[in-house]
Structure 1
Amino acid sequence: MLPRLVLFLLLVLAPPVLAHDSEPAPWQAVGRLDIAGKGFCTGALVADNLVLTAAHCMFDATTGQQIEPTTIAFRAGLINGQARATRQVRRAVVDPDYVYSASPSASRLRNDVALLELSHPIEAQAATPFSTDLRPPRGAMLNIVAYAFDRAEAPPLQQSCAVITQQEGVLVTSCTVDFGSSGAPIFSMVGGQPRIVSIVAAKADMAGQHVALGTQLGQPLIQLKAALAAGKGFGTATLPEADQLTLDRQTRSQTGAAFFSPPAK
């Protein structure tokens, strides 16, 4: 069983803020997902046309229905209103074991993974996709780049967090995240290069300590890629004519944000 937690799903840190360079930096494949004019999450390229994020970002918190992918835009490397590239989402698949309406549990958290297919690939000159890796052991150092409600256009690079434990497939980390960080990639460094080992599913309080909870990847990511390759997923098979979606900052987020509190002892 997971320890008693107060969980927060994060839709809508703080060492150096990222900046644009003439050459693509590793972190510029992290981007903001603007969702149907209602809010945003964080996502990361794992192929030139595939974005990894949290499954709960794909659901409307008011209706519980899955959001039409073509109303979502991915803005790679967004800094101060300027993105390295902007693409509309074409299709989306979520982990088949993820149930949006389920009560908070280890199963819901570890399977909170979605893969989005973009309308057009993003060139390597703009943003280079990340590789993935096995989850790191307890105590291993981690990095996170995440947009948040107070850093909507300037995601910080957090380098000073670590793996606390792994329980029932959920990665418990000392990383600090906030609303908007859902789907943010959790990195370990391999040979000086960042590799995604998990994505942020929720933040929580555990024994008075703020923690970030991460999903499993591995086999789920393989299955999601296979599903897209087989033509499955929610969305359209017709490419949109333009990539022009933006976030309406005046609209309150209705995309999957939720607060969970366990019953008192």
Structure 2
Amino acid sequence: MIRLILTVCIALVASVPPVQAQQGGLVTLQTRDDSQGWESVGRLDIAGKGFCTAALIRERLILTAAHCLYEEDGSLIPASRFSFRAGLRDGRAEAERSITRAIAHPEYDFQGGVTDPSTVAMDIAVLELSQPIRNSRLQPYRIAQRPITGDQVGVVSYGRGREEAPSLQEVCNVLGLQTGVIVMTCDVEFGSSGSPVFMVIDGETRIASVVSAMAQINGQKVSLGTSLAGPLDRLLSHFATAAPARIGGEQRLISVGERNSTGAKFVRP
């Protein structure tokens, strides 16, 4: 599978022309005005561990990456250790909630690793908030159809070196798709796992993907996202009846102040 994903990713990049559309850089959302429309993205803190990024999709439900639910040894992180801090900026959040339940996609294989496209394709999870978020500034995001090669997308994320405020990359590009995995030029870092990837549809910002991993392809840094077409409906149906996510696999989270010197080509952000 390692050879497959390497071959697939190189082929995707090699088969598309150089990006002609403008590529936007990361912008820190420092003020209330900057953050308008993005308040429903938040930092998903894991006590004693680190954090991921998540986004509100229902009044009582957030969406993130499935691998954020596990310890490195494959053990399940108790829901009580999670907290969602919507719109967190410089120590203040628009809303804070604890988590009562966390469910990964039922077909997600945590042991598959980031080089297995079938694992990345199902790397999504939903977490139930202790109380609904009802705030006119924090509206749940709707889901977009799967993007196609050449589409422009954007991403809002927290990450290493930018833990205290979200960063927006308004314009990045879809390089290709393979087996439910979306390869993008979006700039992500450790802590960006679960970050929502957005598209603007008829003037409305919708979530088109969730960041699962980052990779280097021919020296170019890219991000890998999960296609939400189909998998999210399956996950939400599973959530209605499922127990907490099963044990297995590994994860990578960034702790505040942690440095990372990994040379891995494929890593979880």
- Alignment RMSD: 2.5
CA–CA distance in structure 1, aligned partners of residues 256 and 169 of structure 2: 25
TM-score by length of 2: 0.81
User: 1:244 maps to which residue?
Assistant: none
- How many aligned positions are there? 238
Mapped pair 1:227 → 2:230: no
Contact preservation (8 Å) 1:227, 1:233: no
CA–CA distance in structure 1, aligned partners of residues 135 and 239 of structure 2: 21
2:184 to 168, 173, 187: 173
User: 2:213 maps to which residue?
Assistant: 202
User: 2:250 maps to which residue?
Assistant: none
CA–CA distance in structure 1, aligned partners of residues 234 and 150 of structure 2: 29
* Partner SS for 1:215: strand
* Change beyond 3 A, Cα 1:259–1:100: farther
Contact preservation (8 Å) 1:23, 1:125: no
CA deviation after TM superposition for structure 1 residue 37, in Å: 2.3
* Partner SS for 1:60: coil
CA deviation after TM superposition for structure 1 residue 249, in Å: 3.8
CA deviation after TM superposition for structure 1 residue 228, in Å: 2.6
CA deviation after TM superposition for structure 1 residue 261, in Å: 4.5
User: 1:240 maps to which residue?
Assistant: none
User: 1:189 maps to which residue?
Assistant: 200
User: 2:101 maps to which residue?
Assistant: 91
Where does structure 2 lack aligned partners over 5 or more consecutive residues?
Answer: 11-23, 246-253
For residues 32-62 of structure 1, give each alpha carbon's deviation from its aligned partner in whole angstroms, at most 9, with x where no partner exists: 000122100000000011110000000001x
In structure 1, what residue type is equivalent to 2:5? Answer: L
CA deviation after TM superposition for structure 1 residue 102, in Å: 2.0
* Partner SS for 1:28: coil
Contact preservation (8 Å) 2:26, 2:187: no
CA deviation after TM superposition for structure 1 residue 66, in Å: 1.1
In structure 2, what residue type is equivalent to 1:64? Answer: G
CA deviation after TM superposition for structure 1 residue 92, in Å: 1.0
Mapped pair 1:129 → 2:145: no
CA–CA distance in structure 2, aligned partners of residues 90 and 49 of structure 1: 10
CA–CA distance in structure 1, aligned partners of residues 49 and 26 of structure 2: 28
CA–CA distance in structure 2, aligned partners of residues 135 and 48 of structure 1: 23
User: 2:5 maps to which residue?
Assistant: 2
TM-score by length of 1: 0.82
User: 1:100 maps to which residue?
Assistant: 110
Within a 5 Å distance, the mapping from 1:19-30 to structure 2 comes to 19-21=30-32, 25-30=36-41
User: 1:155 maps to which residue?
Assistant: 166
* Change beyond 3 A, Cα 1:122–1:99: same
Within a 5 Å distance, the mapping from 1:209-224 to structure 2 comes to 209-224=220-235
CA–CA distance in structure 2, aligned partners of residues 141 and 261 of structure 1: 25
* Partner SS for 1:137: coil
* Partner SS for 1:146: strand
CA–CA distance in structure 1, aligned partners of residues 189 and 163 of structure 2: 11
2:149 to 128, 138, 141: 138
In structure 2, what residue type is equivalent to 1:48? Answer: E
CA deviation after TM superposition for structure 1 residue 122, in Å: 0.6
User: 1:70 maps to which residue?
Assistant: 80
User: 1:79 maps to which residue?
Assistant: 89
CA deviation after TM superposition for structure 1 residue 98, in Å: 0.9
Within a 5 Å distance, the mapping from 1:232-251 to structure 2 comes to 232-234=242-244, 249=256
Where does structure 1 lack aligned partners over 5 or more consecutive residues?
Answer: 7-12, 236-246
CA–CA distance in structure 1, aligned partners of residues 31 and 136 of structure 2: 13
CA–CA distance in structure 1, aligned partners of residues 153 and 44 of structure 2: 22
In structure 1, what residue type is equivalent to 2:200? Answer: M
In structure 2, what residue type is equivalent to 1:226? Answer: S
Q: Give identity over the alignment, percent.
A: 39
For residues 72-126 of structure 1, give each alpha carbon's deviation from its aligned partner in whole angstroms, at most 9, with x where no partner exists: 0000000111100000011011111111122431011111110111110011324
User: 2:70 maps to which residue?
Assistant: 59
User: 2:21 maps to which residue?
Assistant: none
CA deviation after TM superposition for structure 1 residue 186, in Å: 0.5
